[in-house]
Amino acid sequence: MSDRFDTLLLDLGNTRLHWQWGEQVGAMDADATATADLPAGTPGAIAWSAVGDAESLRPLQQRYADVPWLRCERPDARLLPTRYDPERLGIDRWLGALAGARLSADCIVISAGTALTLDIVHDGEHLGGWIMPGYRLWQSALYGGTRIPRAPDAPLTDRPGLSTGDAIGNGWLVAATGAVQVAAQQLPGRPPLLLAGGDAELLATAVPEAIHQPNLVLQGLSIWAGRQQDRGAL
């Protein structure tokens, strides 16, 4: 049986692979795992999660072939029940909500990653949420689906845009900010807004009260892995 610090945690998103090993954390392009710059040595076990197929993990599966791999595939209601269709809920969303629920029984988990997701946790239960395009997807949907000529990116603000770059960028920011407001209104009082994802800092400018929790999904995976260790599965 491996101990908690001996377990390598891997979360494969749509853009990046996020990892944690003991106190060390990092991220890499999901297509660059063959040259993964992970700490030297061999973990005792690997606990992992992935949205969609796990093809990108193949080089690491070969590198750590002698280590037990255990996948967190679907929500475990004993750790965090969900009202969402559990067969459909992105495992990264559930893990983020699980970690959020440990920080505060009521909270909104916002992940500004490839997609922008907002999830409501109330009284230790996941109540559901929203999925929107992340910043890069928002741009590529507009540039790819219209004849708008590609324009330079501009710093994001909530001001009306005065050029294509800032109209598109600010459009994403006000859409995201509005979604955060609607999400927060679902809960009584002022629930903590926990903000994660590669574009968290872009959104943080418009939601200054948000608490930046860059490793929320890995924290959830660590909680899940602890549970597996307790029951002797890892």
Ligand X SMILES: Nc1ncnc2c1ncn2[C@@H]1O[C@H](COP(=O)(O)OP(=O)(O)O)[C@@H](O)[C@H]1O
Contact predicate 99/223, CB 8 Å: yes
> Contact letters (x/-) for ligand PAZ, 46-85, by CB under 6 A?
-----x----------------------------------
Question: Can residue 13 be called a binding residue for ligand PAZ (CB under 6 A)?
Answer: yes
Which one of the spans 22-30, 110-118, 151-159, 167-175 is the region binding ligand PAZ (CB under 6 A)? 110-118
Name the residue nearer to ligand X (CB basis): 134 or 169: 134
- Minimum distance, C-beta of residue 131 to ligand PAZ, in the bound complex (Å): 5
| Residue 53 annotated among the catalytic residues of the structure | no
16-21: strand order across its sheet: 24-29, 16-21, 7-12, 45-50, 69-71
Question: Can residue 134 be called a binding residue for ligand X (CB under 6 A)?
Answer: yes
End-to-end CA gap in the chain? 6
- Minimum distance, C-beta of residue 196 to ligand X, in the bound complex (Å): 7
The beta strand positions in the chain, using DSSP E, are: 7-12, 16-21, 24-29, 45-50, 69-71, 107-112, 115-122, 125-133, 193-196, 211-212
Which of ligand X, ligand PAZ, none does residue 151 bind to, with CB < 5 to 8 Å depending on kind? none
Contact predicate 67/46, CB 8 Å: yes
Question: What residues make contact with ligand PAZ under the rule CB under 6 A?
Answer: 13-14, 51, 88-90, 92-93, 111, 113-115, 117, 131, 134
